[in-house]
């Protein structure tokens, strides 16, 4: 029955670099814990050197010939890698796509209000998608949508640039503007 239990257990993939006995190469380029190059050594010899220092042999560059390994503490290595990843993640800027919906018969006050919102979104670094929706007989007057899009272009010109020029998609006209 124990065999069945082991059979159905989830097999986890090894995460991170290979270390100690998981290094398959017969010879490795070894760097000591203080950064000194020890040269090409037999893998078992390098592992025993690391064990004598109370540290691990970690494969830093597995694709090199021979692979480059460093003698250091595995826990400290993983901690530093996690810190580096978190720092890189903090620096990333997530760009959202904000949508502003209009009609070809939108009044001036509503239009100015929506343009102010678009300028606010663009100044925060988000993209803005303008959608002009046509209903019923408005489809016969597509030039109204074109005029509105041209007006939007001229009002947003100083704060953003056009990523997707105005185009028809069924019963609506779409334009995407990105910040400068």
What residues contact 134, with CB distance under 8 A and at least 6 apart? 103, 104, 142, 145, 171, 172, 173
The number of distinct structural domains making up the chain is 2
Looking at the fold, whether 105 and 79 belong to one and the same domain comes out as no
| CATH code assigned at 24 | 3.10.20.80
Looking at the fold, whether 56 and 111 belong to one and the same domain comes out as no
Do residues 98 and 121 touch, judged by C-beta distance below 8 A? Answer: yes
Looking at the fold, whether 14 and 76 belong to one and the same domain comes out as yes
| 3-state helix, strand and coil shares in percent for the chain, rounded to the nearest 5 | 40, 30, 30
The pLDDT tens digits along the chain (180 residues) read 555 556 666 666 666 688 888 888 889 999 988 888 888 888 888 898 889 888 989 888 888 888 899 998 888 888 988 999 898 888 877 778 999 999 999 999 999 999 999 999 999 989 999 999 999 998 898 899 999 999 999 999 889 999 999 999 889 999 999 998
Looking at the fold, whether 15 and 83 belong to one and the same domain comes out as yes
Output the pTM of the full model. Answer: 0.53
User: From residue 86, how far is each of 17, 72, 75, 91 by CA, in Å?
Assistant: 18, 22, 17, 9
Question: What single-letter DSSP state applies at residue 104?
Answer: T
Looking at the fold, whether 53 and 122 belong to one and the same domain comes out as no
| CATH code assigned at 162 | 3.30.110.10
What residues make up the domain containing 120?
Answer: 97-179
């Amino acid at each position: 029955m124990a065999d069945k239990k082991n059979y159905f257990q989830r097999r986890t993939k090894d995460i991170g670099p290979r270390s100690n006995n998981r290094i398959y190469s017969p010879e490795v380029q070894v760097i000591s814990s203080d950064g000194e190059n020890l040269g090409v050594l037999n893998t078992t010899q390098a592992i025993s050197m690391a064990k004598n220092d109370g540290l691990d042999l970690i494969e830093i560059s597995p694709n090199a010939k021979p692979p480059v390994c460093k003698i250091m503490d595995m826990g400290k290595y993983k901690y530093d890698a996690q810190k580096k990843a978190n720092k890189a993640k903090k620096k990333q800027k997530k760009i959202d796509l904000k949508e502003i919906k209009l009609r070809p018969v939108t009044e001036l006050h509503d239009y100015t209000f929506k343009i102010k919102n678009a300028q606010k979104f663009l100044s925060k670094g988000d993209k803005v998608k303008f959608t002009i929706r046509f209903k019923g007989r408005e489809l016969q007057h597509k030039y109204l949508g074109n005029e509105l899009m041209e007006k939007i272009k001229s009002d947003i010109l100083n704060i953003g640039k056009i990523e997707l020029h105005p185009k028809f998609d069924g019963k609506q006209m779409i334009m995407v503007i990105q910040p400068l």
